[in-house]
Amino acid sequence: MNDLIIKVISSIIIQIIFIFAFYVLFHGEVAPGGAFQAGALFAVAFIFYIMVHGLKVFQQRIKPKILDYAMSIGVLIYAGNGLLGLLLGRNFLNYYYLAKDPHFAQKIGILVIEIGVAITVAAVLTNIFIKLASFKSTTDDR
Looking at residue 36, its pLDDT comes to 93
Does some domain include residue 113? yes
Does some domain include residue 96? yes
Does some domain include residue 140? no
Q: How far apart are CA 133 and CA 138, in angstroms?
A: 15
Backbone angles phi, psi at 11, to 5 degrees: -65, -35
Check residues 50 and 97 and name the one with the higher pLDDT: 50
* pTM (predicted TM-score): 0.85
Q: How far apart are CA 46 and CA 68, in angstroms?
A: 15
Does some domain include residue 76? yes
Each residue's pLDDT tens digit, 81-114: 888 888 888 788 887 777 788 888 888 888 888 9
Does some domain include residue 110? yes
Name residues whose C-beta falls within 8 Å of residue 36's C-beta, 6 or more positions apart in sequence. 117, 118, 121
Does some domain include residue 142? no
- When divided into structural domains, the chain yields a total of 1
Chain mean position to CA 116: 8
Name residues whose C-beta falls within 8 Å of residue 65's C-beta, 6 or more positions apart in sequence. none
Residues of the domain holding 87: 4-133
Does some domain include residue 43? yes
